[in-house]
Amino acid sequence: MKKIISSTCFVILLVVVLGVSNAYFFVPDLEYQGESVAYRGGGGLIDYNKLNKTSCIAKSLLESEVSTVENTLEAVASSVNAGADVIHLNVHRTLDDQLVVFHDWTLDCATNARGPVNQVLYQDLESVDAGFAYTFDDGGTFPYRGQGFKISRLNEFYSQFPEHKFWINLKGNDEHSFDLLYSYLSSSPSIYSRKTMVITSSKGISWFRRIDSSIRVISVGSVKDCGIDYLLLGWAGIVPESCKNTTLFIPPSKAKYFWGYPKRLASRLQEQGTDVYLWSKHQPIDPTLVDVVVDGIGVVTSDATFISKAQEKRRAN
């Protein structure tokens, strides 16, 4: 019995040593540096403690010098000027099947209008003030009210920023929304073949992959699957199937748990067609993390100052 136990322990130890050696010594070269992604196109930082109470982004802003409203053409222009490589947008369909860029499910919280976005005609959205209710001080002041911020159609963003990549976070979880977005993307193959990733639900992933597998599509579930599988297998130099040809988002506070972070992780997943990003959203981000872009890790943030510094780092390397 002792001999069996000893042999088993030896085999396990050998597997661990070989796995770690494989992960450490056999790492592919880094193919490209990390990208800066303008979350929701840009815009102000959010107090997430307040957001948990209000459930309203417009009422949960942190005071800052940001002069634009998220998901607007002005916000994207500011992010692009700062050096953003990718634009993340929230997209709804309207009652008359127009694709518009706006975060909330309804107009009530952020604007001077009411009702679900998908129950409103686009012509009625054209006069809506997209910055009407944004406030830093619980309604004491409304710095974006009356400043001309509008809810724009998706095609306007592609037209004004033709050199940029887009992440489309599709809010609708119905086949009509899927089909409408696909019809738009497929009308110009160059748009989706190299410039667009769709963020949707598990239902949406299944629909898009069935219709056209060339479209890059992810969901919260697919990102979680990759993250969990990599945590279990990455130490052995194994890239699980769930982490191939996809995108992995990692909260900055959890990055240390991913074997090989930053450069080895990025190199190994890039070889399998997968990009890795730190996702800080509208939260303040540690400025020292700007170095990870050189090591192949992208960053998702609305912080224009961080985006600008990340671009400087990339140019210097």
Q: Which residue ranges of the chain lie beneath pLDDT 70?
A: 1-27, 192-194, 281-282
CA pair distance 145, 127, nearest whole angstrom: 13
**pLDDT in the model for residue 4:** 54
Which residues have CB under 8 Å from 189's CB, separation 6+?
none
Residue 5 lies in a domain: no
CA pair distance 234, 131, nearest whole angstrom: 45
Residue 25 lies in a domain: no
| Counted domains in the chain | 1
**pLDDT in the model for residue 210:** 96
**pLDDT in the model for residue 10:** 42
Residue from 214, 221, 215, 179 nearest 198 by CA? 215
Residue 17 lies in a domain: no
CA pair distance 172, 284, nearest whole angstrom: 29
| Per-residue tokens: 95 | 């009652």
| Per-residue tokens: 257 | 């748990």
CB 34 within 8 A of CB 278: no
DSSP 62: P
**pLDDT in the model for residue 278:** 97
Residue 226 lies in a domain: yes
Domain that holds residue 74: 36-316
Q: How far apart are the first and last CA of the chain?
A: 58
Residues in the chain: 317
**pLDDT in the model for residue 307:** 95
Residue 107 lies in a domain: yes
CA pair distance 128, 123, nearest whole angstrom: 10
Largest CA distance in the chain: 81
CA pair distance 296, 179, nearest whole angstrom: 34
**pLDDT in the model for residue 1:** 55
pLDDT above 90 covers what percent of the chain?
Answer: 78
| Per-residue tokens: 100 | 């518009």
Residue 6 lies in a domain: no
Torsion of CA 48, 306, 67, 65, to 10 degrees: 80
Residue 96 lies in a domain: yes
Q: Does the pTM exceed 0.95? A: no
CATH number of the domain that 197 lies in? 3.20.20.190
Cα–Cα distances in angstroms (integers) from residue 30 to residues 90, 275, 293, in the given order: 31, 11, 12
Residues forming beta bridges with residue 116, ordered by sequence position: 106
| Per-residue tokens: 118 | 């998908």
Residue 7 lies in a domain: no
Rounded to an integer, what is the distance from CA 303 to the centroid of its chain? 14
**pLDDT in the model for residue 191:** 73
Residue from 4, 268, 74 nearest 248 by CA? 268
